[in-house]
Amino acid sequence: MRASRLLSLLMLLQTRGRMTARELAAELEVSARTVYRDVEALHAAGVPLYGDAGPSGGYRLLDGYRTRLTGLTSGEAESLFLTGMPGPAAELGLGAVVAAAQLKLMAALPAELRDRAGRIRERFHLDAPTWYHGADETPHLAAAAEAVWEERRLEIRYRRWKAPQEVVRTLEPYGLVLKAGRWYLIARGGQDIRTYRVSQIMELRALPQSFERPGDFDLAAHWNGALEAFEARLHRGEAVIRLSPDGMERLPDMGRPALLRAAEATAEPPGPDGWTRVTVPIESHRHALSEFLRFGLDLEVVAPAELRDLMAETARSLARRYDTPGRAP
């Protein structure tokens, strides 16, 4: 435990430079007194670590000092090779960089960890795209990624779903997100930060003007907030449905995540027939119709009445179609 903490302290100073005892204690979740003892232990081990007193003081390593990654546990070494994701890295134009980084990491690992880490690539493969959908074609992804790195403004011609479908936008790109095999560009255009699907960028031109990315912008937090807002706009109503035992089992594979979460939160105890009553969000009656029909006889709409009538009329129309004799196969 202490050896792992000493290595973490050393890595913090190596990557961040000067840090106070209080900052180190907060990062390591220990007391400042423990930090003092750990610093003394590193001194005794010959690590060139020194401290400065005063308001701007703190601990730092001697300039140029670097440590090899000999303190990694086997699990930590293996996890590093699971984060490579060669497919997405190649799409970003970083495939060679990731490969070089893995080679350097392998060279720095002790022999007993090198073999274990090397087997990770032979036994695990990360496939980002979801089922039934291939990855998007994204010819402008590498250029967008370069603009994100260099904090350079972009001009894009973009195809959207509403009229006018083709628009030109000047953007300040803040980050890229990969979700279910699809890349999204998070960028400021005017006063708003918006999401652009990279596959819908028809033309892209990097502009000579640079911009300053806000220091407090948190890409992950923004993305999660945008997803929540999207779902809130998307779901304009609710439906009360009953699901058979088989329907409840199929729900994780057949339903959207929002539908699954709502079903789990609102599920009532099964009735005498084993069916479960839940309340789920819907976009529209037409959209809910196509979604609920996938469950066949394992789902019954209770409310609203308009959606129940639409389901009943669709079922009658299907019955009439298949009851018609003599139709050619």
What pLDDT digit, counting tens, does each position of 104-123 carry?
666 666 666 667 666 666 77
Give dist(CA 242, CA 270) in Å, integer. 9
| All structural domains of the chain with their residue ranges | 1-61, 74-122, 140-232, 237-323
**Position with higher pLDDT, 50 vs 189:** 189
**Position with higher pLDDT, 240 vs 321:** 240
Which has the closest alpha carbon to 69: 102, 32, 94? 102
Q: Longest C-alpha distance within the chain, in Å?
A: 95
Mean pLDDT (whole number) for 143-166: 92
Domain 1-61 has CATH 1.10.10.10: yes
CATH value of 237-323 in 3.30.40, 3.40.50, 3.30.70, 1.25.40: 3.30.70
Amino acid at 203: E
Domain 140-232 has CATH 2.30.30: yes
pLDDT higher than threshold 70 for residue 17: yes
The Cβ-side half-sphere exposure at 207, using a 13 Å CA radius, reads: 14
- Do 304 and 297 meet the contact criterion of CB atoms below 8 Å apart? no
Q: How confident is the model at residue 1 (pLDDT cuts 50, 70, 90)?
A: low
Please, what's the b/e burial string for 152-191 (b: 16 or more CB within 10 A of its CB; e: otherwise)?
bbbebebeeeeeeeeeebebbbbbbbbeebbbbbbbbeee
pLDDT higher than threshold 70 for residue 237: yes
Q: Is 190 left (phi over 0), alpha (psi -120 to 50) or beta?
A: left
- Do 279 and 266 meet the contact criterion of CB atoms below 8 Å apart? yes
Give dist(CA 69, CA 82) in Å, integer. 17
Bridge partners (DSSP) of residue 166 are 159
Q: Is-cis flag, bond preceding 164, omega within 30?
A: yes
Neighbours of 39 (CB within 10 A): 20
Give dist(CA 327, CA 321) in Å, integer. 9
Amino acid at 133: H
Position 16 scores a pLDDT of 79
- Do 147 and 156 meet the contact criterion of CB atoms below 8 Å apart? no
Position 111 scores a pLDDT of 64
β-bridge pairing 58-61 and 166-179: unpaired
CA 154, distance to chain mean position in Å, is: 24
Residue 266: which residues within 8 A CB-CB, separation 6 or more? 278, 279, 280
The Cβ-side half-sphere exposure at 7, using a 13 Å CA radius, reads: 12
Mean pLDDT (whole number) for 226-245: 86
Q: Record the pTM.
A: 0.59
pLDDT higher than threshold 60 for residue 329: no
pLDDT higher than threshold 80 for residue 89: no
pLDDT higher than threshold 60 for residue 78: no
pLDDT higher than threshold 90 for residue 307: yes
